[in-house]
Amino acid sequence: MSARRVTVTECPGGPLLIRGADEVVGIDGTTGTVDRAVVAMCRCGRSERLPWCDDSHRARKRRKKKEQTDE
Ligand code: FES
């Protein structure tokens, strides 16, 4: 059996992109089976589909930008 290469790429302010994994464990302990070449794992804890990213982190970015422009 050969070792499988798994890579993790950090998206600034967003998810971790996981390539080559069969299974992942999210920040809440939820285990997910990987059936795609690349999956996005939530790091912000706001996703309603943990451990997967559902783009909820983007709402936070928009809110931060609005707060900065309102100041
Ligand atoms: S990182 Fe995308 S929803 Fe949490």
User: What is the average per-residue pLDDT within 7-25?
Assistant: 94
Q: Is 55 in the pocket of ligand 1 (CB under 6 A)?
A: yes
Position 17 confidence tier, pLDDT thresholds 50, 70, 90: very high
Ligand 1 pocket mutation, candidates 17, 43, 60, 61, criterion most atoms within 8 A of CB: 43
Residue 2 is assigned to a structural domain of this protein = no
Cis peptide before 15 (omega within 30 of 0): no
In a domain, 1, yes or no: no
Residue 15 maps to a domain: yes
Paired tokens of 70: 């309102």
Ligand 1 pocket, residue 15 CB under 6 Å: yes
Question: Model confidence at 31, in pLDDT bands (50, 70, 90)?
Answer: confident
In contact, 52 and 58? CB cutoff 8 Å: no
Query: Which residues span the domain enclosing 42?
Result: 7-70
Does any domain span residue 33?
A: yes
Q: Is residue 39 part of a domain?
A: yes
> Does residue 30 belong to any structural domain of this protein?
yes
CB 19 within 8 A of CB 7: yes
Overall domain count for the chain: 1
